[in-house]
C-alpha cells in the first residue's frame, strides 16, 4: 500500500527537528556539523545512536545525559515537536509538491526563530538562501494553488523582496536618527526581504502586523511583574517575524 504523500514529511520531521536543534546550537560555526559528532555539553562525551533518537532518547534518559546525569533541558524535545507541528500544519493546508516546499520553508523559519530567541541574531546562512528560494517558488507556483491567495507572480515576489529590505533600512535609519543608537539589525532587513520574496509585497503588512502583535504580547508576558520595562531591553523581533511570515504564507494576507 502506498502511503499518502503528506505522510513522509511527518515521518522525517522529528529527525529534522533533531538536526535543527544541533544547527541552532552551532549557529556560530555551522560547518562543524559536517565533521564534528554530537557531544554532551557538560561532560563532552560523544553521543551514540542510542542517544540521538528524537524524543525517545530524551524521554528514556529522563531528560538527562546518560553519562554524567546532567539535566539536558527542554530545548531539544521542544524543537523536535515544533518540527513535527510545522510538518502537520503544512500537510493540512498544502498539497502535492507544496507540502515539501512549505515544510522546508517552515523548518528554516523555525531554526531562525530559535537562533534569534536564544542569541538575538539572524545568521545569513539561513536567511539569505530564502530570498532566491522564494523567487523560484513564485516562478513555479500555479495561480490556482491553495496557498496562492494573493497576486502570484515573479514581479510581486521581486518587488516584495526589495521593498521588504528597504522598509527595514528606513525604519533602522529613522530610529537611529531619533534615538542615536541602533534599534533593529540588518538581519531583520534580510529576513523581511525573504518575507517579501515568499508572500509578495501585498503580504508584507500582514507579516508585520502578526509579528508586532505576538512580539508585544510576548514582551508583556516576559516582563510581567517587573516594575519598569526598559526601552533598551532587547527583543527577538526576528522570532516573531518568522511566525508572521509562516502564517501569511499558509493563509495569505489578512483581509
Listing DSSP states for 81-128 in one string gives HHHHHHHHHHHHH--THHHHHHHHHHHHHHHHHHHHHHHS---HHHHT
Residue 222 pLDDT class (50, 70, 90 cuts): confident
- Residue numbers of the domain that contains 80: 1-93
How far is Cα 21 from Cα 78, in angstroms, rounded to an integer?
Answer: 9
| Per-residue model confidence as pLDDT tens digits over 48-73 | 777 778 888 888 888 888 888 888 88
| Share above pLDDT 90 across residues of the chain, in percent, rounded to a whole number | 45
pLDDT at 219 over 60: yes
Model pTM above 0.85 = yes
- The answer to whether residues 204 and 115 belong to one domain is yes
Query: 3-state DSSP call for residue 71?
Result: strand
Residue after which a domain boundary falls, among 52, 76, 93: 93
How far is Cα 102 from Cα 118, in angstroms, rounded to an integer?
Answer: 24
- The answer to whether residues 129 and 227 belong to one domain is yes
Q: What is the dihedral of CA 241, 242, 246, 248, to 10 degrees?
A: 10
Q: Tally Cβ neighbours within 10 Å of residue 29.
A: 8
- The total domain count for the chain is 2
Give buried/exposed letters for 94-133 (b at 16+ CB in 10 A, else e): beeebbbbbbbbbbbbbbbbbbbeeeebbbeebbeebbeb
Residue after which a domain boundary falls, among 93, 109, 139: 93
pLDDT at 206 over 80: yes
How far is Cα 234 from Cα 213, in angstroms, rounded to an integer?
Answer: 17
Cβ-Cβ contacts under 8 Å for 11 (sequence gap 6 or more): none
First to last CA, the chain: 42
Task: State the DSSP code for 180.
Answer: S
Q: According to the model, what pLDDT value does residue 149 have?
A: 42
- The answer to whether residues 128 and 223 belong to one domain is yes
Contact 130, 112 (CB under 8 A): no
Amino acid at each position: 500500500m502506498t502511503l499518502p504523500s503528506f505522510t513522509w514529511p511527518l515521518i522525517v520531521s522529528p529527525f529534522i527537528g533533531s538536526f535543527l536543534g544541533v544547527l541552532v546550537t552551532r549557529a556560530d560555526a555551522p560547518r562543524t556539523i559536517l565533521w564534528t559528532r554530537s557531544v554532551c555539553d557538560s561532560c563532552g562525551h560523544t553521543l551514540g545512536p542510542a542517544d540521538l533518537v528524537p524524543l525517545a532518547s530524551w524521554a528514556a534518559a529522563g531528560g538527562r545525559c546518560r553519562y554524567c546525569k546532567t539535566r539536558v533541558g527542554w530545548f531539544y524535545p521542544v524543537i523536535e515537536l515544533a518540527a513535527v507541528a510545522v510538518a502537520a500544519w503544512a500537510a493540512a493546508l498544502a498539497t502535492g509538491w507544496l507540502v515539501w516546499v512549505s515544510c522546508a520553508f517552515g523548518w528554516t523559519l523555525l531554526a531562525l526563530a530559535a537562533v534569534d530567541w536564544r542569541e538575538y541574531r539572524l545568521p545569513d546562512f539561513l536567511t539569505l538562501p530564502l530570498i532566491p528560494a522564494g523567487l523560484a517558488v513564485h516562478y513555479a507556483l500555479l495561480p490556482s494553488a491553495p496557498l496562492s491567495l494573493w497576486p502570484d507572480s515573479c514581479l510581486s515576489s521581486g518587488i516584495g523582496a526589495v521593498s521588504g529590505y528597504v522598509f527595514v533600512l528606513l525604519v533602522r535609519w529613522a530610529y537611529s536618527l531619533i534615538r542615536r543608537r541602533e534599534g533593529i539589525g540588518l538581519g531583520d532587513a534580510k529576513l523581511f526581504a525573504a518575507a517579501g520574496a515568499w508572500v509578495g509585497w501585498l503580504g508584507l503588512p500582514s507579516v508585520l502586523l502578526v509579528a508586532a502583535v505576538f512580539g508585544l504580547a510576548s514582551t508583556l508576558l516576559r516582563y510581567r511583574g517587573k516594575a519598569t520595562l526598559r526601552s533598551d531591553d532587547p527583543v527577538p523581533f526576528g522570532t516573531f517575524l518568522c511566525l508572521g511570515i509562516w502564517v501569511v504564507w499558509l493563509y495569505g494576507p489578512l483581509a
